């Protein structure tokens, strides 16, 4: 596989390590020189040879380069799904995608159970995403019982809690309706790590998924997020695919 | 999409209904004439025109026709993953797959969270699959506290509880190691429906997924299983794919 990474930091490094047996050639575009063992591009250009473009950078990078990537016709893997909370950008992107040869992949990121969500999306009544963090994560002290810091949809959550953006937007995209997903952010003195809980209510069943993610070398990113990106890329090479 | 269904019953009907806008032509092979609105084949042959073969029949059907399907080079979707608990068949199938143009898809079936499992498979310490049913489902009466009916791996579970086969095998395939998955079947007087609980312990995080599935028109099959098969097929047509 020949990969252009956008962003050469922590996430790209984890993806590279997971995939290295499958990588024939790779490049990265980043403002900084990093330790990613791929050729650095000084300007944003997409090598003709590349099979896929893999964004491991930021919401801004998706917005800035997304349409150009679709014009190249390369398959495009996106970790910063938060870009799609911007309706104008999302509409523009989807129109461009219609006329593109690209397929776009938004891996499940720091959460899971999207296999259930996507399968039953037409039967979903509502979904809750409850993120619990220790009170000190919000700069709070002397909190003795759980305290809801935010409740609303993914788009509303973004301005207040940008660090939660990708999780709530990816979940909302899987549901196919931002208004069916209630995002709640809770300061909880009973937890010592970040916990994402997803509750799905539907006419075909009810589901609960609890995630206790451990951080990757960059503590702002859980390990699961880059591993889900690596897994989505690895499936390209597999003839026996489990889980759709 | 042009689909050959193996099995024309409840599951094929649900898949057909979910996909009908995408189906150009379809056939089915079944010993019985069913109400599936596709052309019935009297003998098992794979139409040249077909894009995919979709098994909605039984473990036996996968074993009987699986290798022929791989020889045809058609993509192959399998709901009765239990066939792969037979190591001899699995080995034979994987050798044939190496030389085949087919890609094989085993959708998540009646469970979910396989996006997590597959992404972190190299970091998994152990996985538990706990299936709880009301005692009467096991012909038990006067059970006042939960009672473990079975504990072992997916292969051991099959001889005793064949109805649970596909769930435990699909999960074990996603983990990539049958010995890391402990299957427990519990008669629980506190539940009034079947509940599958998956606990994943790994060096990148711990995860719990609880499924309260509702049955499809055939009460032996949850609705989620055929919907996951339909979703996997539908992804073939999508240029914007959520969840990998």
pLDDT in tens, A214-231: 988 888 889 999 999 999
CB pair distance less than 8 Å for A228 and B242: no
- Residue B167, pLDDT > 80, answer yes
Interface check A212 vs B, CB under 8 A:
yes
Which CATH homologous superfamily contains domain A114-211? Dihydrodipicolinate Reductase; domain 2 (3.30.360.10)
Which among B63, B74, B155, B196 is annotated as catalytic? B196
- Residue A244, pLDDT > 90, answer no
Contacts with B97 from chain A: Cβ below 8 Å:
239-240
pLDDT in tens, B86-109: 999 999 999 999 999 999 999 999
Per-window interface: A 130-169 vs B, CB < 8 A:
none
Which CATH homologous superfamily contains domain A2-110+223-235? NAD(P)-binding Rossmann-like Domain (3.40.50.720)
- Smallest Cβ–Cβ distance between B116 and the set A94, A112, A239 belongs to A112
CB atoms < 10 A from the CB of B95, how many? 12
The CATH code of the domain at B114-208 is: 3.30.360.10
Question: What local confidence, expressed as pLDDT, does residue B232 receive?
Answer: 98
Domain definitions of chain A by residue range: 2-110+223-235, 114-211
Interface check A204 vs B, CB under 8 A:
yes
Interface check B3 vs A, CB under 8 A:
no
CB pair distance less than 8 Å for B239 and A118: no
pLDDT in tens, B22-73: 999 999 999 999 999 999 999 999 999 999 999 999 999 999 999 999 999 9
Q: A30-39, B28-37, B150-159, B193-202: lowest mean pLDDT where?
A: B150-159
């Amino acid at each position: 596989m020949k990969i252009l990474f956008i962003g050469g930091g922590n996430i790209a490094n984890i993806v590279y390590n997971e995939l290295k047996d499958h990588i024939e050639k790779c490049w990265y575009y980043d403002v900084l020189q990093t330790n990613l063992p791929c050729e650095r591009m000084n300007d944003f250009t997409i090598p003709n040879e590349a099979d896929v473009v893999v964004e491991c950078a930021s919401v801004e990078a998706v917005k800035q380069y997304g349409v150009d990537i679709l014009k190249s016709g390369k398959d495009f893997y996106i970790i910063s799904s938060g870009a799609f909370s911007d309706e104008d950008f999302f509409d523009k992107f989807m129109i461009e995608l219609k006329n593109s040869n690209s397929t776009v992949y938004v891996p499940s990121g720091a959460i899971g159970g999207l296999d259930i969500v996507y399968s039953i999306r037409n039967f979903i009544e509502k979904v809750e995403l409850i993120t619990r963090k220790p009170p000190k994560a919000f700069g709070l002290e002397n909190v003795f019982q759980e305290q809801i810091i935010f409740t609303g949809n993914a788009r509303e959550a973004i301005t207040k809690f940008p660090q939660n953006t990708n999780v709530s937007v990816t979940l909302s995209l899987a549901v196919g309706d931002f208004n069916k997903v209630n995002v709640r952010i809770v300061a909880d003195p009973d937890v010592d790590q970040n916990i994402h809980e997803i509750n799905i209510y539907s006419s075909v069943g009810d589901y609960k998924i609890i995630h206790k993610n451990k951080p990757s070398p960059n503590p702002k990113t859980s390990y699961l997020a880059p591993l889900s990106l690596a897994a989505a890329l690895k499936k390209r090479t597999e003839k026996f695919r489990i889980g759709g």
